[in-house]
Amino acid sequence: MPSGQVKEYEIEHFNNYGENKDFDAFDERGYGRIINELLKNLSEPYTNLKAIDLGCATGCFTIRIADLGIKIKGIDISENCIKYALKKNSNIQFEVGDIENLNVSDEEFDVVVLFGVMHHFPELTDAINESWRILKKGGILFTYDPHMNNPFYWLYRHKKSPFRSTKGITENERPLTKGQVKSALNKFKFIDSQIYCISGVTLSSKSAKYKGVIKRLIGLFNLIERLTDFYPLNNMLGASIISVSKKG
């Protein structure tokens, strides 16, 4: 069955980044906040784990995971992004590939990462099908996506918002709700699924992704993210949806 995702949009958009600039959306604090959520659910020693980052773009998250001693592979549909990722770290195996049709064996990985990927798919299950297949039993699927009920993302990205901007995104993209993520994961035999929101994921003011008004508002966004990173406020309005699911 053909995917609902228009892949040409993704390739064209991300090739623009990989050609001459990095797709580095977060600052170190922001990446660290998400990585901490991942590490809470991984067994040690990390050097025993085999992971894959699907939709890795220029490898910003992939490289930070590799720095922890985790053996990780990155796959992206953009050839330019993969070339850029290899320039940054040639010791990591980066490959061009379609995450709906992977050249990967069944149950090969302990950890599958979908970092900012599912919100690029009209049907979220299309992003998860191959992740399920290549994940070992007892392995972890970890996802991050922007949260639609966050006031900032609603105003800036929701199709019903009068202030919506399409700059810096593809035609496939939109923020998600926890309910949408839960519904997609429930179609697979995951156990112990956790779906929740966090704050504190701060953006990089140096990123080529942000321009114009949004670039000027990054400081305010980051301040609000830091101040609201406590439960239950972050779980209700945090800008980032996290899901952690174990394959049964």
CATH code for the domain of 32: 3.40.50.150
Over residues 140-192, the pLDDT tens digits come to: 999 999 999 999 999 878 778 787 777 777 878 899 999 999 999 999 999 98
What are the tokens at 24? 């580095």
Residue 131 has pLDDT above 50, yes or no: yes
Domain that holds residue 230: 7-247
Examine residue 85 and state whether it is found in any structural domain, yes or no.
Answer: yes
Examine residue 210 and state whether it is found in any structural domain, yes or no.
Answer: yes
Tell me phi and psi for residue 117, to 5 degrees: -110, -45
Examine residue 2 and state whether it is found in any structural domain, yes or no.
Answer: no
SS3 73: strand
- pLDDT given at position 3: 55
- pLDDT given at position 134: 98
Residue 108's alpha-carbon distances to 3, 6, 140, in angstroms, are: 24, 28, 12
- Residue 2 half-sphere exposure toward CB, CA atoms < 13 A: 4
* Least reliable range by pLDDT among 56-65, 74-83, 155-164: 155-164
Examine residue 80 and state whether it is found in any structural domain, yes or no.
Answer: yes
**How many domains are contained in the chain?**
1
Examine residue 237 and state whether it is found in any structural domain, yes or no.
Answer: yes
Distance from C-alpha of 125 to C-alpha of 129, rounded to nearest angstrom: 6
Examine residue 1 and state whether it is found in any structural domain, yes or no.
Answer: no
- pLDDT given at position 167: 75
Q: Is the sign of the CA dihedral 174, 153, 22, 93 positive or negative?
A: negative
Distance from C-alpha of 222 to C-alpha of 145, rounded to nearest angstrom: 17
* Residue bearing the bigger pLDDT, 1 or 210: 210
Confidence of residue 1 (pLDDT cuts 50, 70, 90): very low
* Least reliable range by pLDDT among 47-61, 83-97, 168-182: 168-182
Residue 120 has pLDDT above 90, yes or no: yes
Over residues 18-30, the pLDDT tens digits come to: 777 899 999 999 9
Region of 207 on the Ramachandran plot (φ > 0 left; ψ -120 to 50 alpha; else beta): beta
Examine residue 144 and state whether it is found in any structural domain, yes or no.
Answer: yes
| Statement: the pTM of the whole predicted model exceeds 0.85 | yes
Tell me phi and psi for residue 237, to 5 degrees: -125, 0
Instruction: Count other C-beta atoms under 10 Å from residue 167's C-beta.
Output: 11
Q: Give the full edge-to-edge strand order of the sheet including 190-198.
A: 93-96, 71-76, 50-54, 109-115, 135-146, 240-247, 190-198
Mean pLDDT within 214-240: 95
